[in-house]
C-alpha cells in the first residue's frame, strides 16, 4: 500500500538568484488569508482556537480546553509574582510549550535558551 505524504508548503513566485523560493500553505497559494477583523493579537488567536476546538487534542493527550486551563493558572501565577521576562532553558517538551503559551496569554516576554546553544 502506497503511503501518502502531507504537503505543508508549496513554492510561489519566481526564485531569485542566490535565494530560495518563497513558500506558502497550499491553501493560500494565490494570496495570504486575512484573519477576521475581531482577531488582532496572538491572545485573540488563542482564544478563538480554544473556542472552536475545545475538545480536540492539542498537546499529546491534552485538549485545547485543558491546555487553556493549565496556561491560565500558570500565567496568572506568573503575573501575580510580577514576572515580566522569563528565560526557558529546556529541551523541547510539553511543559516548555505550556509555559510559553502562558507567557503569551499574559503578555510576558519568554526567551528560549536551547540546550544546543551550549555554555
Give pLDDT, residue 33: 78
Pull the grid cell for residue 10: 508549496
Q: Facing residues of 11 across strands?
A: 23
Give pLDDT, residue 1: 61
Strand ranges (E), the chain:
10-12, 22-24, 57-59, 62-63, 85-89, 109-113
The continuous run of DSSP H or E covering 5 comes out as none
Does 3 have pLDDT greater than 80?
Answer: no
pTM: 0.72
Query: What 3-state class would DSSP assign to 15?
Result: coil
Q: How far is CA 35 from the centre of its chain?
A: 16
Give pLDDT, residue 2: 67
Tens of pLDDT, residue by residue over 7-46, are 889 999 888 899 999 999 888 888 877 888 999 999 999 9
Does 97 have pLDDT greater than 90?
Answer: yes
Tens of pLDDT, residue by residue over 43-91, are 999 999 999 999 999 999 999 999 999 999 999 999 999 999 999 988 8
Mean pLDDT of the chain: 90
- The domains found in the chain, sorted by start residue, are 35-117 (3.40.50.980)
The continuous run of DSSP H or E covering 104 comes out as helix 94-105
Pull the grid cell for residue 2: 502506497
Amino acid at each position: 500500500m502506497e503511503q501518502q505524504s502531507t504537503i505543508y508548503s508549496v513554492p510561489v513566485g519566481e526564485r531569485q538568484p542566490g535565494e530560495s523560493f518563497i513558500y506558502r500553505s497550499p491553501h493560500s497559494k494565490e494570496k495570504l488569508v486575512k484573519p477576521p477583523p475581531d482577531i488582532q493579537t496572538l491572545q485573540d488567536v488563542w482564544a478563538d482556537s480554544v473556542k472552536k476546538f475545545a475538545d480536540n487534542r492539542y498537546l499529546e493527550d491534552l485538549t485545547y480546553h485543558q491546555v487553556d486551563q493549565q496556561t491560565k493558572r500558570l500565567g496568572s501565577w506568573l503575573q501575580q509574582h510580577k514576572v515580566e521576562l522569563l528565560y526557558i532553558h529546556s529541551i523541547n517538551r510539553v511543559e516548555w510549550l505550556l509555559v510559553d503559551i502562558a507567557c503569551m496569554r499574559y503578555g510576558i516576554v519568554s526567551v528560549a535558551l536551547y540546550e544546543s546553544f551550549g555554555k
